[in-house]
Copies of this chain bind each other. A is one copy, B any other.
Amino acid sequence: MLLEAVYHQPKSQYAYAYDNETLHIRVRTGRGDMDRVSIVWGDKYHFTEDTVTTTDMYIFAQDELFDYYQAEVKPPFRRFAYAFRFEKGSRTVFWNETGFTEGKLASGGVGMLWSPSGMFEFPFLNETDVARPPEWVKDAVFYQIFPERFENGDPSLTPEGAEAWTPDAVPQRDNFFGGDLQGVINRLDYLQDLGITCIYFTPFFEAYSNHKYDTIDYLKVDPQFGDNEKAKELVEKAHEKGIRVMLDAVFNHSGYYFPPFQDVLKHGKYSRFRDWFHIRSYPLANDPLNYDTFGFVPEMPKLNTEHPEVKAYLLETARYWIEDIGADGWRLDVANEVDHRFWREFRDVVKTANPDAYILGEIWHNSLAWLGGDQFDAVMNYPVTNSILDFFVKDEIDAENFMGRLDAIQVSYPKQANEAAFNLLDSHDTPRLLTIADGNKKRMKLAALFQLTFTGAPCIYYGDEVGMDGGADPGCRKPMIWDETAQDHDLFGFYKDMIALRKENRAFRDGSFQFLSAEKGADTVVYERSDEKNRFVILMNKGSRRQKVRLADEAGRTYEEVFGSRSAEVKNRRLD
């Protein structure tokens, strides 16, 4: 046994409450190392050889180096003391906090009278600590709208010097096209037809730039887009069509023209707003920077989210758009650079305003520290983005590696965070999917199909569905193509069908996910998604040649085509 490979951490993604009754317990071992892994558990106040239960664990994920085992358990009194039992050949090893012991479960230490010492513990399942993302997120199909570029519905608001809204328009860092909220209202039918159930808006609050990530007033719709009444109308009309609305909270930093920052620029250390930012000396200077900023951008001063006035202002912002305007969630820009303490208070405010609001962090790296139930419901799932792109689109990894990376992500977080994850393939921050695919629509479709059939909520970047392309910012921010002669109708039909498939079948949203084939060097993957009602088997081949795949235990099963009317039985190990 490779004991160095064995890993577990109590009260982490390896031991968490999934709901008010159920704990998920995981343990990692070397790949293929163990014959059998089980968990020996009981109530810490009544833990004897007679009262403990032994529960088998199953491999629920694998990567290159490791097997990850899981078991789901329901401790009757919500207290859970446990150890692991590993079996390999004739050898049995137990593991708890006292270490590994051969053959028998050890306890150690002075202990209390009535309790074993040295066990791992999940001491009590308190309901308030259970991470519970909103149920609707599992069922959602998101659509990201960059407001300046989706549709011009009110020409009276169009900025002076705005460029013509044509399919061949060229977005620049600083040009405008005239998109606005009325434009989105006008196109709600389009979104409903496509099957969208939630719009994610990049910021539409008053700001200087075209991307509006440099906020001037967090409580006001940018006049180029409309006003707060229009935002409320938009939310209400979207809700009528079964479409929710998620907004973008840029709380890490303000814009250059944010009045408190202007006040500091003007009055320096005498400004009453000086502590709203992180300033090291006066007057403010750029080279070297003597105040904290987003990246090294002097125009985006980092907000001091530890300051009571800043907190009050931003938390009122958080409340206002949810409670007064009716928005259904917040996507948190640069969420990882704001203090955890702020996000805990933010969560309280948002969930008080609407317990069903979705809190989504923009974090590009491992996000465990934000997903304990006290901060975010989920994060933007860039590790999944990258895995899908690397396998289907860029052809950089093989099926085995693809499976390993996706499985590793499943292990990185509690299950509920993965179920509510925000799975995107591109955005206003990246090149468009079709461009990453070098215009190869087949690869693009494979990537989108995987995204739309995987665990977690998919998000489509506006216009991908009609074949829009574009490189990194600003290229990916072209005005939406509404000219039907310039739209890709085949692609639109594909997206519409796949979205409908996901929405019509719970198995794709809430069912189990398992790879059936993902071999070393292979271009093909096969996976299943199933619930009590249906079992879907998806076979995907990203190569240019016809492939055969071998699946275990399929003999005698009958398959029906999802898009088509054929059905066939597996006979003589073949499905024809």
Tell me the A residues contacting B by CB distance below 8 Å: 2-5, 7, 9-12, 30, 45-46, 64-66, 77-79, 97, 99, 108-115, 117-121, 123-124, 126-129, 292, 295-296, 305-306, 336-342, 344, 363-366, 368-369, 374, 382-383, 385-386, 389-390, 426, 429-431, 436, 472-473
Beta-carbon contact of B123 and A337 below 8 Å = yes
Beta-carbon contact of A337 and B79 below 8 Å = yes
7 contacts between A and B (CB under 8 A): A12-B368, A46-B296, A114-B295, A119-B365, A126-B339, A129-B340, A344-B344
Q: Which residues of B contact A295 (CB under 8 A)?
A: 45, 114-115
Q: How far is the CA of A414 from the CA of B114 in the complex (A)?
A: 30
- Using A336-B123, A430-B110 as known contacts, say yes or no to A128 and B306 having CB atoms under 8 A apart: yes
Q: Which residues of B contact A124 (CB under 8 A)?
A: 336-339
Q: By DSSP majority rule, is chain A's interface helix, strand, loop, or mixed?
A: loop
Name A389's closest neighbour in chain B (CB-CB): B110
Q: Which residues of B contact A126 (CB under 8 A)?
A: 305-306, 337-341
Beta-carbon contact of A368 and B11 below 8 Å = yes
Of A78, A110, A129, A386, which is in contact with the most chain B CB atoms at under 10 Å from its CB? A110
Q: How far is the CA of A389 from the CA of B111 in the complex (A)?
A: 12
Beta-carbon contact of A113 and B340 below 8 Å = no
Q: How far is the CA of A5 from the CA of B65 in the complex (A)?
A: 10
Of A108, A305, A436, which is in contact with the most chain B CB atoms at under 10 Å from its CB? A108
Beta-carbon contact of A77 and B292 below 8 Å = yes
Known: A79-B337, A126-B339, A126-B340. 8 other contacts (CB 8 A): A4-B4, A4-B30, A10-B365, A46-B296, A110-B385, A111-B430, A126-B305, A340-B374
Q: How far is the CA of A109 from the CA of B388 in the complex (A)?
A: 10
The one of B2, B110, B119, B338 in contact with A386, judged by C-beta atoms closer than 8 angstroms, is: B110
Q: Which residues of B contact A473 (CB under 8 A)?
A: 113
- Using A4-B66, A374-B344 as known contacts, say yes or no to A436 and B110 having CB atoms under 8 A apart: yes
- Using A65-B3, A108-B386 as known contacts, say yes or no to A120 and B336 having CB atoms under 8 A apart: no
Q: How far is the CA of A66 from the CA of B2 in the complex (A)?
A: 13
Q: Which residues of B contact A7 (CB under 8 A)?
A: 7
> Closest 6 interchain pairs by CB?
A109-B386, A126-B339, A123-B336, A11-B369, A4-B5, A45-B295
Beta-carbon contact of A117 and B364 below 8 Å = yes
Distance in angstroms from A372 CB to nearest chain B CB is 8
Q: How far is the CA of A337 from the CA of B44 in the complex (A)?
A: 11
Beta-carbon contact of B112 and A429 below 8 Å = yes
Q: How far is the CA of A15 from the CA of B306 in the complex (A)?
A: 22
Q: How far is the CA of A473 from the CA of B114 in the complex (A)?
A: 11
Distance in angstroms from A197 CB to nearest chain B CB is 25
Q: Which residues of B contact A46 (CB under 8 A)?
A: 296
Beta-carbon contact of B365 and A97 below 8 Å = yes
Q: Which residues of B contact A79 (CB under 8 A)?
A: 337
Distance in angstroms from A432 CB to nearest chain B CB is 11
Distance in angstroms from A361 CB to nearest chain B CB is 11
Q: How far is the CA of A10 from the CA of B365 in the complex (A)?
A: 9
Q: Which residues of B contact A108 (CB under 8 A)?
A: 386, 390
Beta-carbon contact of A431 and B65 below 8 Å = no
Q: Which residues of B contact A337 (CB under 8 A)?
A: 79, 123-124, 126
Q: How far is the CA of A472 from the CA of B365 in the complex (A)?
A: 49
- Using A120-B366, A124-B336, A369-B10 as known contacts, say yes or no to A296 and B45 having CB atoms under 8 A apart: yes
Q: Which residues of B contact A336 (CB under 8 A)?
A: 121, 123-124
Q: How far is the CA of A128 from the CA of B77 in the complex (A)?
A: 36
Beta-carbon contact of B368 and A112 below 8 Å = no
- Using A4-B5, A7-B7, A295-B114 as known contacts, say yes or no to A129 and B364 having CB atoms under 8 A apart: no
Q: Which residues of B contact A129 (CB under 8 A)?
A: 339-341
Beta-carbon contact of B12 and A369 below 8 Å = yes
Distance in angstroms from A103 CB to nearest chain B CB is 18
Of A9, A305, A365, A386, which is in contact with the most chain B CB atoms at under 10 Å from its CB? A365
Distance in angstroms from A386 CB to nearest chain B CB is 3
Q: How far is the CA of A119 from the CA of B364 in the complex (A)?
A: 10
Q: Which residues of B contact A365 (CB under 8 A)?
A: 10, 97, 118-121, 123
